[in-house]
Amino acid sequence: MKKYELIDLIKRWEREEMTVEQAVGQILLWLNTLSERVTKLETRVRQTRGSQSAEGNRVNPDIAKPQPKIRHGLGRSYGLTRMK
């Protein structure tokens, strides 16, 4: 299955050019891509911390702090709440 760019996916959904099943499939493809990217980033952070600890450098604890969730309001601004 081809993965649409996110903005194209939103536009197709707004124009009702895809079914719910197609939209869910696209969202799952995006979720998988994002999950892989997060895993790679977490690995890089652990490797960086390990090399810094081995060198005796102090690791910045702010890096490990979880970031607040940002609400973009996509449902409202992109009309994602399609009702029939």
In this structure, how many other beta carbons lie within 10 angstroms of the beta carbon of residue 45? 13
SS3 readout for 1-56: CCCCCHHHHHHHHHCCCCCHHHHHHHHHHHHHHHHHHHHHHHHHHHHHHHHHHHCC
d(CA 8, CA 41): 26
- pLDDT attached to residue 7: 95
Residue-wise pLDDT for 20-41, tens only, equals: 999 999 999 999 999 999 999 9
Residue 58 identity: R
pLDDT digits over 37-52, tens only? 999 999 999 999 888 8
How many Cβ atoms are within 10 Å of 25's Cβ, its own excluded? Answer: 14
Has residue 81 got a pLDDT over 70? no
pLDDT at 50: 87
Look up the pTM and report it: 0.59
Q: What is the pLDDT of residue 38?
A: 97
